[in-house]
A = this chain, B = another copy of it.
């Protein structure tokens, strides 16, 4: 058993997705979003993210946490806000002693769709298919979290020579 949690951090919405590697298969375990809210002081929103994420981690006890590297072309204010949410996510991993793995958007897209320049809609469709979901995840945040979890699970398996 090898359980990975993928996270798409954000101060308003943080997506999470859990996948498990079973032999040569990557199986969907669960996913959801944590709403930090769009109003109220940032520190309250970070606290909400941290508490809910702690709950998810306690419930599933993942062995690895995967996040996407942040795309640097965004505006500085968004990078700061993303950084704040990301810091709290990384802290949650360290507190639970879960190793963190980072992947570029290109690596994630490529592992899910086979193409590093795939469109968001293609990623969402492939995540739905690969995980055999009966519906696509409701939000992009959840899709992105599942995609990065999938990316890690495939790469970790390749690394150990388990998947072909």
Q: Which of A81-89, A107-115, A141-149 lies at the binding interface?
A: A81-89
Is there a chain B Cβ closer than 8 Å to A79's Cβ?
A: yes
In the bound complex, residues from chain B placing their C-beta under 8 Å from that of A73 are: 76
In the bound complex, residues from chain B placing their C-beta under 8 Å from that of A90 are: 42-43, 46, 84
Question: Contact: B94 with A83, CB < 8 Å?
Answer: no
A91 to chain B, nearest CB (A): 5
In the bound complex, residues from chain B placing their C-beta under 8 Å from that of A87 are: 46, 83-88, 91
A14 to chain B, nearest CB (A): 12
Instruction: Provide the A41-53 mask, 1 if CB < 8 A to any CB of B, else 0.
Output: 1111011001000
Is there a chain B Cβ closer than 8 Å to A70's Cβ?
A: yes
| A72 and B81 alpha carbons, distance in the complex (Å) | 12
Tally of this chain's copies = 2
Closest to A47 in B: B94
| A72 and B83 alpha carbons, distance in the complex (Å) | 13
Closest to A81 in B: B83
Closest to A41 in B: B100
Is there a chain B Cβ closer than 8 Å to A13's Cβ?
A: no
Question: Contact: A88 with B91, CB < 8 Å?
Answer: yes
| A43 and B90 alpha carbons, distance in the complex (Å) | 5
B-binding residues in A (CB < 8 A): 41-44, 46-47, 50, 70, 72-74, 76-77, 79-88, 90-91, 93-95, 99-100
List 17 A–B pairs whose Cβ atoms lie within 8 Å, in order of A's numbering. A42-B90, A43-B90, A43-B94, A46-B87, A46-B94, A47-B91, A47-B95, A50-B91, A72-B77, A73-B76, A79-B80, A80-B82, A80-B83, A80-B86, A83-B87, A84-B87, A87-B87
